[in-house]
Amino acid sequence: MSNFVHTYDQAIEFLLGRINYERVTGIAFSSDDQKLSRMRRLLEQTGNPHEGLKVIHIAGTKGKGSTSAMAASILTAAGQKTGLFTSPHVSAFEERMVVDGASPSPGHLVDLVNRLIEPIEHMDRAPEGPGPTYFELATAIAWLYFRDCAVDLAVLEVGLGGRLDATNVCEPHVSVITNISRDHTNVLGNSTAEIAREKAGIVKAGVPVISGVDSGPAGDVIEAVCLRHQSPLYRLGRELLWRPHRNDDSIADDPNDGTAGRGIDVDTPWGKWAGLRVPLLGHHQSDNAALAVAAATLLRQEGLRIPDAAVARGLSEVRWPARIEVLGTRPTIVVDAAHNWAATAALLRTIQHDFPGVSRKILIFAATRDKDVAGMLRQLLPGFDSVVLTQYHTNPRGVPINELAAMVQATAGYVCHVATDAAAAWSLASRLATNEDLICVTGSFFVAAELRKLILDGSERQTLDRSQQSATVYSEQPSHAPL
């Protein structure tokens, strides 16, 4: 007899009991653990909910989540019932799957999980090996939810890589590769060309490809794969162009109001748009916006009605938590999930460009074991006046504080503050900061998610009696001089 779940908490506990490569160290995970045949068997036993669904499939080293959110927001604004699947989640599992912004209710999630339990038990007993993983189940739940909601189309963000990702059993109408840089090298390869080959695994025969990679070895790989599959290729900087919009004073450009944005003009072979507002901070988000506009409006060739006004409205309304997100002012608080070299560089550029008036910059940093942590610290340390190292307790892949401190010491001998957990780190950073300063949380999606919740839960922090912040809640090395 199958062990069905009865409550939301039981459903989440059941999912977390599956093999979860978001929570294991990179040493324990390789490309051999990704098996599309297992995903196909799971979907076959649940009625193939992914079949017949129009899909925009989005891969890339960074920016794929933001691009997915933007494309989905445009399509929703156009009146298309749109599913969006992203990972990881910030606060709750069901955030990974939304239809026009709405996640499944707790009761609906329980029902979705129960529909998978018998197929899972069958696969666990099969000679082919262990049954589906946590991410495979999340992907299947998203497709079931989209089918329940009778969506018109779905935007799917690749979880890892592309070629062997669980989402890659879809038949997309548009494929997108946002960019390529070094990340997950133990799984995807050590060079950008090798990584590009894995990402380009989402390219399907004859399906148009939108690419943010226009040159270098990675660009050559993507171009060759598209040529082999006879897939039309549209590249940012060549067939797709964007430029700053200079003639509309109504476009907000004040990052301190929490709704900052910039105006851009976008040109594609099938449409031109002037004065589009990009509400997400950073030059790189203008790149992502151009890719999203191109991907969404390319579907016009499929007969979908996507008015120009919907493009502007959908783009302006997108919200994407923990991506250079401003959570407060006085002091300015920025939370970002940067966890690789390229994302860290984008964060630093954005802070320098969009927050020129802050007095001092305070960094709260925690990281994951399988990342280039030393490389990120080498980038970050010169840009901050004080550094608070911490660790998160929601994921065992976190780097212990003593290891982080040793890396900082090895980087030109900097010393830093340390805090035993996210709450202590926030308490210490709040104590160090004045109203004119900036506090930046980064290094991992997990620390960004933990501290984002903590900060939002304490949104009345401006009235906090700082004298109540006890020095016993953190341990501290001497603060270094301004870097």
Confidence of residue 1 (pLDDT cuts 50, 70, 90): low
**By the 8 A CB rule, do 461 and 455 touch?**
yes
CB-CB neighbours of 472 under 10 Å? 7
Confidence of residue 250 (pLDDT cuts 50, 70, 90): very low
Q: Report the distance separating Cα 227 and Cα 70, nearest Å.
A: 28
Q: Above 50 in pLDDT, residue 155? A: yes
Q: Report the distance separating Cα 28 and Cα 255, nearest Å.
A: 41
Give me the mean pLDDT over the 474-480 stretch. 37
Confidence of residue 188 (pLDDT cuts 50, 70, 90): low
- CA neighbor of 295 nearest in space, from 149, 101, 157, 89: 157
Give me the mean pLDDT over the 299-310 stretch. 93
Give ∠ CA 83-13-16 in degrees, rounded to 5: 70
Bridge partner list, 242:
266
Confidence of residue 257 (pLDDT cuts 50, 70, 90): very low
Give ∠ CA 472-473-474 in degrees, rounded to 5: 95
Q: Above 60 in pLDDT, residue 196? A: yes
pLDDT at 26: 45
pLDDT at 186: 47
Q: Name which residue leads in pLDDT, 22 or 365.
A: 365
pLDDT at 182: 61
Q: Report the distance separating Cα 166 and Cα 172, nearest Å.
A: 14
**Any idea of the CA torsion for 128, 134, 136, 140, to the nearest 10 degrees?**
120
Q: Above 50 in pLDDT, residue 336? A: yes
Give me the mean pLDDT over the 155-169 stretch. 94
Picking from 80-94, 225-239, 303-317, 456-470, which range would have the lowest pLDDT averaged per residue? 456-470
Where helices occur in 334-440 by DSSP H, the ranges are: 341-354, 373-380, 401-410, 422-432
Architecture of domain 325-473: Alpha-Beta Complex (3.90)
What CA–CA distances, in Å, run from 81 to 74, 106, 151, 314? 11, 21, 5, 13
Which residue carries 């797709």 as its tokens? Answer: 240
- CA neighbor of 314 nearest in space, from 273, 350, 347: 273
Q: Name which residue leads in pLDDT, 301 or 144.
A: 144
Q: Above 60 in pLDDT, residue 110? A: yes
CB-CB neighbours of 483 under 10 Å? 15
Q: Could you tell me the residue ranges of all domains in the chain?
A: 8-317, 325-473
Q: What number does CATH give the domain 8-317? A: 3.40.1190.10
Which residue carries 């009991």 as its tokens? Answer: 17
Q: What separation, in Å, do the N-terminal and C-terminal C-alpha atoms of the chain show?
A: 63
Q: Above 70 in pLDDT, residue 83? A: yes
pLDDT at 148: 98
Widest CA span of the chain, in angstroms?
A: 67
What are the pLDDT digits (tens) for 6-24? 999 999 999 999 877 665 5
Cα atoms in the Cβ-side hemisphere of radius 13 Å centred on 370: 20
| Six-digit token string for 25 | 């160290």
| Six-digit token string for 472 | 């016993």
Give ∠ CA 367-369-373 in degrees, rounded to 5: 55
Picking from 170-174, 426-430, 474-478, which range would have the lowest pLDDT averaged per residue? 474-478
pTM for the structure as a whole: 0.87
Q: Above 80 in pLDDT, residue 122? A: yes
Picking from 27-36, 427-436, 448-457, which range would have the lowest pLDDT averaged per residue? 27-36
What CA–CA distances, in Å, run from 10 to 21, 22, 154, 376, 445? 20, 20, 28, 38, 25
Q: Above 50 in pLDDT, residue 474? A: no
Q: Report the distance separating Cα 211 and Cα 47, nearest Å.
A: 33
Cα atoms in the Cβ-side hemisphere of radius 13 Å centred on 113: 26
Bridge partner list, 263:
277
pLDDT at 394: 73
Name every residue whose Cβ is closer than 8 Å to that of residue 382 and which is 6 or more positions away in sequence: 483
**By the 8 A CB rule, do 325 and 204 touch?**
no
Give me the mean pLDDT over the 323-347 stretch. 92
Picking from 16-30, 307-321, 420-434, which range would have the lowest pLDDT averaged per residue? 16-30
Q: Report the distance separating Cα 28 and Cα 41, nearest Å.
A: 24
**By the 8 A CB rule, do 457 and 351 touch?**
no
What CA–CA distances, in Å, run from 148 to 47, 68, 69, 142, 304? 12, 21, 21, 10, 21
pLDDT at 392: 85
Confidence of residue 256 (pLDDT cuts 50, 70, 90): very low
Q: Report the distance separating Cα 102 and Cα 340, nearest Å.
A: 30
pLDDT at 175: 98
What are the pLDDT digits (tens) for 173-183? 999 999 998 65
Q: Which amino acid is at 439?
A: I
